[in-house]
């Protein structure tokens, strides 16, 4: 029966391959799942962890494949491969170091940390190539540069990354009320710290302290298991927990869509209240004012009745003014600036609520001499915004194209998305009703057609 040590030596190639694969998959998964559109700082900072995973995975595979390839390559080529192999190790640890700096909350981040990455790399180069120069084919020199990379870059960089991830989680992620994701990030931070302590303190055997006491050989002699096995396990935990924690980007997207839905419902409710106010309360008060005013003309102006009727007319007039002021406030979300319509449509395209989740393109062929009133423009933009919101939250579209052309007496706008389109049995919700109602207010017409997604065609007269 073979011992643990013999088992791991017999399967060293497999262990090296799995070791590299763990980190490569970590980096690749982060690249696939990270959202460029995310407004979380973590989305931008994780690129450094992804770079570490990919470069470190390739480095570990180098330990497996370079010795095999060196048998068939020239001495110069093998020398270059070993040289770049050690550079890759330092670069991978530098990415981990930069990740640690990036995720530290800005309130705790000192300015000197931004230059620390360059400093530790310069220190490593100084020791590896100036103080202890050597031939890259010399195994002793390779072990020495490996040890320096772990001591000077890997150990401080990994511990900084573990601390930064924990601090970032507590300050930026925990307030989002996502306990499961917070737990995943905490486990990832602890696993990253354990991996760093093991990877940063167990270099290959070297002739100087502490590498002459604690190294891969003495560790294996003491435990019976190569340190790369434990590194692989800790790396796998980091990879799994980080991948699970990346669900935060899906959650962020869902919450932003929910905010859009809530805002559209509020806007639609404001519009309904405004119509009810205009068509109901204001008209009734206005009619009551006319009746009281007609009674005032009949009554004697000097009589007590005439004076009271006169005051009643004034109160009713003030009430109408108040109602119209409230009506204007309800319509505030449809007000717009005096900018040209083409400019306002392009502003919708760069609105982060939309372009962070779908690709928006705008094509306009509008004459400069034609324009709409601000109120009509406000209704028109509200229709376009509603169409954009529907493309994001219901159609799950990836791209939306807005085209605006002059049709002579009318303006023609087409909004095409590549989403799911409208279901065959559809009951108009707030959004569609709002779009149809605003179109009627503009004396225009709107059509919805399933055509490789949803095509909305809107025609609105330029003038009232």
Q: What is the Cα gyration radius of the chain?
A: 34
| Confidence (pLDDT) at 437 | 81
Please state, in angstroms and rounded to a whole number, the distance separating the CA atoms of residues 292 and 328: 26
Identify the sign of the CA torsion 12, 18, 22, 28. Answer: positive
| Confidence (pLDDT) at 37 | 61
- Please give the model's pTM, rounded to 2 decimal places: 0.68
Tens-level pLDDT at each residue, the chain (464 residues):
677 777 877 888 888 899 999 999 999 999 887 766 676 778 888 999 999 999 999 999 999 899 888 888 888 888 899 899 999 999 999 999 999 998 887 655 555 666 788 888 999 999 888 888 888 778 899 999 999 999 999 999 999 999 999 999 998 888 888 899 999 999 999 999 999 999 999 999 999 999 999 999 999 989 989 999 999 999 999 999 999 998 888 787 777 767 666 666 666 677 677 666 766 777 777 777 777 778 877 877 778 877 777 788 787 777 777 777 776 666 655 555 567 888 888 888 888 777 767 888 999 988 877 788 887 888 888 889 888 888 877 777 888 999 999 888 889 999 999 988 887 776 666 678 878 888 888 889 999 998 888 999 999 998 87
Burial class (CB in 10 A: 0-12, 13-18, 19+), 12: middle
Closest CA to 41 of 157, 171, 162, 163: 171
Please state, in angstroms and rounded to a whole number, the distance separating the CA atoms of residues 302 and 376: 47
Closest CA to 387 of 331, 438, 432: 432
| Confidence (pLDDT) at 199 | 95
| Confidence (pLDDT) at 210 | 93
Query: Domain limits of the chain?
Result: 4-245, 264-334, 341-461
Query: How many residues are recorded in the chain?
Result: 464
Determine the 3-state secondary structure of 127 from DSSP: helix
Please state, in angstroms and rounded to a whole number, the distance separating the CA atoms of residues 392 and 135: 59
Both tokens assigned to 271: 């519009």
Closest CA to 117 of 142, 86, 141, 92: 92
The second-level CATH assignment, the architecture, of 341-461 is: 2-Layer Sandwich (3.30)
Are 199 and 151 contacting, i.e. CB atoms less than 8 angstroms apart?
Answer: no
Burial class (CB in 10 A: 0-12, 13-18, 19+), 423: exposed
| Confidence (pLDDT) at 114 | 63
């Amino acid at each position: 029966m073979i011992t643990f040590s013999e088992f791991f030596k017999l399967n060293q190639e497999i262990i090296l391959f799995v070791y590299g694969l763990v980190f490569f998959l970590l980096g690749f998964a982060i690249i696939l799942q990270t959202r460029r559109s995310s407004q979380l700082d973590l989305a931008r900072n994780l690129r450094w962890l992804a770079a570490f995973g990919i470069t470190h995975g390739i480095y570990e595979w180098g330990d497996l494949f370079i010795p095999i390839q060196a048998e068939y390559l020239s001495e110069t080529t093998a020398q270059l491969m070993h040289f770049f192999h050690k550079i890759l190790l330092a670069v991978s640890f530098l990415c981990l170091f930069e990740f640690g700096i990036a995720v530290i909350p800005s309130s705790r981040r000192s300015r000197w940390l931004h230059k620390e990455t360059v400093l530790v790399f310069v220190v490593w180069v100084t020791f590896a190539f100036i103080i202890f120069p050597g031939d890259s084919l010399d195994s002793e020199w390779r072990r020495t540069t490996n040890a320096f990379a772990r001591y000077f870059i890997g150990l401080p960089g990994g511990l900084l990354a573990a601390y930064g991830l924990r601090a970032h989680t507590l300050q930026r992620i925990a307030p989002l009320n996502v306990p499961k994701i917070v737990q995943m990030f905490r486990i990832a931070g602890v696993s990253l710290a354990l991996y760093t302590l093991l990877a940063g303190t167990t270099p290959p055997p070297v002739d100087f302290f502490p590498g002459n006491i604690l190294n891969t050989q003495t560790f294996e002699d003491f435990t019976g298991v190569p340190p790369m096995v434990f590194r692989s396990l800790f790396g796998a935990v980091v990879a799994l927990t980080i991948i699970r924690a990346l669900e935060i980007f899906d959650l962020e997207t869902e919450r932003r869509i929910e905010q859009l839905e809530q805002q559209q419902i509020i806007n639609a409710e404001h519009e309904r209240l405004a119509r009810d106010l205009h068509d109901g309360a204001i008209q009734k008060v206005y009619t009551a004012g006319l009746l009281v005013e007609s009674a005032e003309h009949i009554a004697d102006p000097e009589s007590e009745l005439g004076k009271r009727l006169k005051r009643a007319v004034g109160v009713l007039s003030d009430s109408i003014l108040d109602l119209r002021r409230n009506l204007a406030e309800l319509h505030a979300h449809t007000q717009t600036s005096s900018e040209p319509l083409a400019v306002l449509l392009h502003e919708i395209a760069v609105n982060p609520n939309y372009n962070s989740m779908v690709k928006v393109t705008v094509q306009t062929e509008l004459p400069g001499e034609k324009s709409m009133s601000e109120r009509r423009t406000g209704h028109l933009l509200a229709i376009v915004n509603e169409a954009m919101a529907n493309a994001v939250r219901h159609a799950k579209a990836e791209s939306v194209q807005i085209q605006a052309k002059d049709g002579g007496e009318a303006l023609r706008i087409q909004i095409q998305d590549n989403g799911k389109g409208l279901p065959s049995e559809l009951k108009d919700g707030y959004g569609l009703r709002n779009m149809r109602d605003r179109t009627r207010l503009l004396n225009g017409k709107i059509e919805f057609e399933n055509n490789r997604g949803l095509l909305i065609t809107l025609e609105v007269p330029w003038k009232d």
